[in-house]
């Protein structure tokens, strides 16, 4: 029968007061099994159930509806309490007490955070933990601190789960950080970290504990200018990154092939090597020779000082490089190319028959290099894109430059091919990139104009450098991380 008792908690009728007897008794089970009618005195209970059952069901349905209404009301109240709690926490959050400059930085760069030494004078150290909490939400972090400040970063498992790009530029007074004890482990459990860069760090393995095995892009300086440190740290660091795809290395010190053999990086496709002002002569070539890069397709080599002879790495000598796979090459020289340097460059280019993109930068490109490039079938037969942006064309014979371009174009319809070495494997030059136009004699003007009719596209200016040669495009920008490599947004 209906029960009008109310639940003292929620106000609904008390379901526990309404009980339904269990009909299954031994006699009932027997009657069901033998398929016989009940005796006369046994008919009363089943008849009561039949007569009262519909009313009991109706009563239970009403109670269920009441409970559903109460449940929905409670869920709505819970949702409102949750919203109120979030708003209250937001209003009372300590970040609202941050100094104006720090708060402005947070909202100006919501996805990239720079931890700079000047951001945290002594009076602001209480805010460091808050700033680190902000960093846990970003996908890119730059550390510009002295090494003694690094322990302030709390290394909790998964705390930087969104981090993808990390640049550690430690600025100790002596200029470099050789080691840290204990190691910085704040980023050890960053599941999405793939790009790392170091500057002013002697040996990254002695400074940071990182998920090295998942790194795909590495940008590393060579280490401190210390006479007691004669070997580059790159080689043993690279062994920790089997998935590496792009690397940029400063090669200022000697590199010795490890006893175990060359450092094997099976997936590396893009490599940038640079010799600095204080580089040991041949350091770049030594580092290159110590690597095994079967998948290398894009190579950039940079030489800073004219004091050292230009020593380009050997491709012919048995190495871990598959020369026919290299299709893009950039050579940068921060000085005028001498006749000896031109000769070394041409010898190097002769061993790269599949290069399609060539970019050469120098303070002055002279006739020697241009004359060598006329040998189309012996040097860079597959060349399609020639880029001299960032270079001054210091030519005694400007007509020689036009001759070189003519030699690399498809013959016009009126020309007759008489070169016995000509074959279908030789590609024609498609595009030339220059900073600006150069003076052309009247006698050569028609030859220059004819180049476009033969299919050559000439472009001027630095626009459109794109990702392929981003090293040059990065000059003048605030963002210099991972320059010289394909950028993955």
As beta bridge partners, residue 482 has: none
pLDDT at 486 over 50: no
8 A C-beta contact, residue 39 and residue 32:
no
pLDDT at 356 over 90: yes
pLDDT at 218 over 90: yes
CA distance 328 to 80: 60
In Å, how far are 147, 274, 301, 440 from 168, measured between CA atoms? 10, 19, 24, 49
The pLDDT > 70 percentage for the chain reads 69
The pLDDT score that the predictor gives to residue 30 is: 81
The distance between the two most distant Cα atoms of the chain, rounded to a whole number of Å, is: 132
The pLDDT score that the predictor gives to residue 130 is: 47
pLDDT at 448 over 50: yes
As beta bridge partners, residue 358 has: 329, 386
CA distance 186 to 209: 8
Q: Which residue has the higher pLDDT, 60 or 259?
A: 60
At 405, list the tokens.
């371009």
The pLDDT score that the predictor gives to residue 207 is: 80
| Mean pLDDT across the chain | 76
The pLDDT score that the predictor gives to residue 76 is: 92
pLDDT digit string, tens, across residues 108-147:
444 445 554 444 444 344 445 545 555 566 778 877 767 6
pLDDT at 52 over 90: no
Q: Which residue has the higher pLDDT, 211 or 142?
A: 211
* Mean pLDDT, residues 319-330: 89
In Å, how far are 116, 127, 132, 170, 437 from 149, measured between CA atoms? 11, 14, 13, 10, 52
pLDDT at 32 over 70: yes
Per-residue pLDDT band at 182 (split at 50, 70, 90) = low
The pLDDT score that the predictor gives to residue 104 is: 47
The H or E element containing residue 385 is strand 385-387
pLDDT digit string, tens, across residues 66-120:
889 989 999 999 999 988 888 887 777 655 554 554 444 444 444 445 554 444 4
Per-residue pLDDT band at 484 (split at 50, 70, 90) = very low
Number of neighbours of residue 212 by Cβ within 10 angstroms: 21
In angstroms and rounded to an integer, the radius of gyration of the C-alpha atoms of the chain is 38
Q: Which residue has the higher pLDDT, 288 or 424?
A: 288
Per-residue pLDDT band at 37 (split at 50, 70, 90) = confident
Could you identify the residue written with the tokens 């500057």? 199
The pLDDT > 90 percentage for the chain reads 26
């Amino acid at each position: 029968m209906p029960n009008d008792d109310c639940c003292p908690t929620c106000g609904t009728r008390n379901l526990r007061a309404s009980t339904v007897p269990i009909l299954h008794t031994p006699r009932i089970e027997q009657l069901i099994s033998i398929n016989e009618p009940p005796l006369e005195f046994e008919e009363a209970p089943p008849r009561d159930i039949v007569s009262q059952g519909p009313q009991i069901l109706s009563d239970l349905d009403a109670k269920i509806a009441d409970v559903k209404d109460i449940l929905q009301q409670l869920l709505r109240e819970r949702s409102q309490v949750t919203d109120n709690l979030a708003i209250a926490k937001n209003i009372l959050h300590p970040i609202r007490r941050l100094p104006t400059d720090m708060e402005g930085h947070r909202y100006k760069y919501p996805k990239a955070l720079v931890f700079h030494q000047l951001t945290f004078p002594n009076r602001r150290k209480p805010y460091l933990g808050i700033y680190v909490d902000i960093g846990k939400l970003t996908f890119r972090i730059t550390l510009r601190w002295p090494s003694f400040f690094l322990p302030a970063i709390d290394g909790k498992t998964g705390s930087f789960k969104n981090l993808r790009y990390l640049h550690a530029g430690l600025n100790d007074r002596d200029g470099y950080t050789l080691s840290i004890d204990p190691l910085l482990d704040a980023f050890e459990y960053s599941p999405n970290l793939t790009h790392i860069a170091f500057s002013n760090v002697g040996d990254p393995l002695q400074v940071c504990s990182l998920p090295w095995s998942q790194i795909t892009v590495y940008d590393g300086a060579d280490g401190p200018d210390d006479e007691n440190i004669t070997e580059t740290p790159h080689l043993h660091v690279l062994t920790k990154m089997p998935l590496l795809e792009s690397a940029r290395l400063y090669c200022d010190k000697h590199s010795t092939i490890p006893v175990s053999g060359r450092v094997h990086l099976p997936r590396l496709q893009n490599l940038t090597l640079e010799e600095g002002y204080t580089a040991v002569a041949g350091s770049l070539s030594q580092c290159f020779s110590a690597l095994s890069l079967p998948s290398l397709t894009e190579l950039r080599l940079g030489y800073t000082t004219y004091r050292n002879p230009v020593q380009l790495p050997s491709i012919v000598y048995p190495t871990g490089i598959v020369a026919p796979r290299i299709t893009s090459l950039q050579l940068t020289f921060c000085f005028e190319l001498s006749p000896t340097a031109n000769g070394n460059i041409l010898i190097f280019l002769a061993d790269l028959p599949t290069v399609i993109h060539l970019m050469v930068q120098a303070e002055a490109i002279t006739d020697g290099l241009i004359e060598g490039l006329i040998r189309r079938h012996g040097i860079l037969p597959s060349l399609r894109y020639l880029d001299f942006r960032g270079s001054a064309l210091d030519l005694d014979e400007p007509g020689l430059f036009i001759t070189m371009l003519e030699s690399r174009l498809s013959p016009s319809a009126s020309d007759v091919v008489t070169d016995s070495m000509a074959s279908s494997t030789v590609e024609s030059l498609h595009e030339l990139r220059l900073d600006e136009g150069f003076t052309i004699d009247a006698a050569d003007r028609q030859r220059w104009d004819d180049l476009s009719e033969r299919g050559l596209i000439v472009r001027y200016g630095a626009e459109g450098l794109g990702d392929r040669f981003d090293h040059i495009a990065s000059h003048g920008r605030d963002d210099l991380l991972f320059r010289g490599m394909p950028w993955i947004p």
